[in-house]
Amino acid sequence: MEWAGRRLGGQGVADAVVAVILALFIGCAIVDPPGASSWWPAWSAWPVAAVVSFPVAVRRRRPRAMLALASAAAGLAAVAGAVAAGTIWLSFVPTVLVLYVLAATTPVAWSVVGLAACASAAVTAVLIFYERIFPGLAPAAQPSEVPPAWPIEIGLVCVLLAAGWAIGTAVRWKRDTTARLVRHLAEAAVADERRHIARELHDVIGHSMSLIAVKATVANHVAEARPQEVRAALAVIEQTSRSTLTEIHRVLDLLRSDGDPQQAPMPVPGTADLPELAAHARSAGVEVDLTVREETALPPAVAVSVYRIVQQALTNVITHAAPTRCSVTVDIDGREAVIEVVDDGSRHGRPPRARHGGHGLIGMRERVKMYGGTFHAGRRPEGGFRVSARLPYDPRGTEA
């Protein structure tokens, strides 16, 4: 707000300077015109020039009122004979500058009306001057190479008015286009953030609820025969629920913080948390063989993507194939992260359930696409399912 005030104040000072310069030019032109001099006393040129130029100084605060004042002042000066022949067009230059501001800051309809009114006033004033005032003026001591004539003055005024209106309209169009583009980018950023949060919540809740559902089913079936196993299942459910709530709070805190520098950053998952994922899957009846080869540390953003891809792949194994055997391989060489999750299929011989239409595979594919990598997921001829992903990245943390 303070910056906007300083900017407006700076523009006001610049407009005042322009108004003074214009007044000097117009005054000098009236005192020493190219054509017949005005019958008014020479000293009157300066107050007339000041009145004609004054609207430029305050044109940004009241553009409509100042346009009317500038046009009326220039027209009355011409009709009253206060200006000399050949300088009428110059007295309408302040009107042009005010019209520019009006066209740049108001709807097109208003600026078109202003253009038409100013042009009509200028044409009328020039014609009256050359019909009634000009014949009674004393001829110039040194005639100009281009003698004053009403077609020339009307042409100059109309061209200047049209140019001021066109430039102002172009500036307004550019501002409106830029504002729309900024709004569009802001809306796109919000949509991307919503998709990101939705994907995070899907990965967190989907994995945890799948594990909880499996353990709850086991506990329900063995409640009477093996009470100790029920306690173990309930312990896993409790632990999973707590960790899930922690991750959900982390995601929601990102929404609440809104860039607050005093908000303590929450830890984000990475490759160091993969063994815990494998332990959760084992508790749900999946024999996980985890292999992580990490030559260099991953950038945080890539590490989160690797973790989420493995998490969603194991969630799919738990949901669609448990109990089964699964191998998880993560290979990081400093330029790309290669992930492979392969399961042997269900041991109960139940028909395989489709996995291609879920949001989990879509989310994994989108994460890989962010880094320009490749993703493949499909059934194996020998049975089971295979998920592979390659995430190229720059060691500095950006996409490759």
- DSSP strand E in 262-317: where? 286-294
Residue stretches of the chain with pLDDT short of 70: 1-9, 35-37, 138-148, 189-190, 192-211, 213-215, 217-225, 227-233, 235-236, 238-240, 242-268, 347-359, 395-400
Q: How far apart are CA 119 and CA 123, in angstroms?
A: 6
Residue 4's pLDDT is 43
CATH of domain 272-400: 3.30.565.10
Residue 93's pLDDT is 92
Buried b (16+ CB within 10 A) or exposed e, 56-69: bbbbbeebbebbbb
Residue 116's pLDDT is 93
Buried b (16+ CB within 10 A) or exposed e, 192-215: eeeeeeebbebbbebbbbbbbebb
Residue 33's pLDDT is 75
What's the chain's Rg over C-alpha atoms? 39
Domain ranges of the chain: 2-184, 272-400
Smallest CA-to-CA distance from 55 within 39, 32, 73 is with 73
Residue 168's pLDDT is 92
Residue 1's pLDDT is 43
For the entire predicted model, the pTM comes to 0.54
Tokens read off for 182: 């900024």
What percent of the residues of the chain are helix, what percent strand, and what percent coil, each to the nearest 5? 65, 10, 25
Smallest CA-to-CA distance from 356 within 323, 326, 379, 382 is with 379
Residue 218's pLDDT is 64
Residue 208's pLDDT is 64
Residue 138's pLDDT is 64
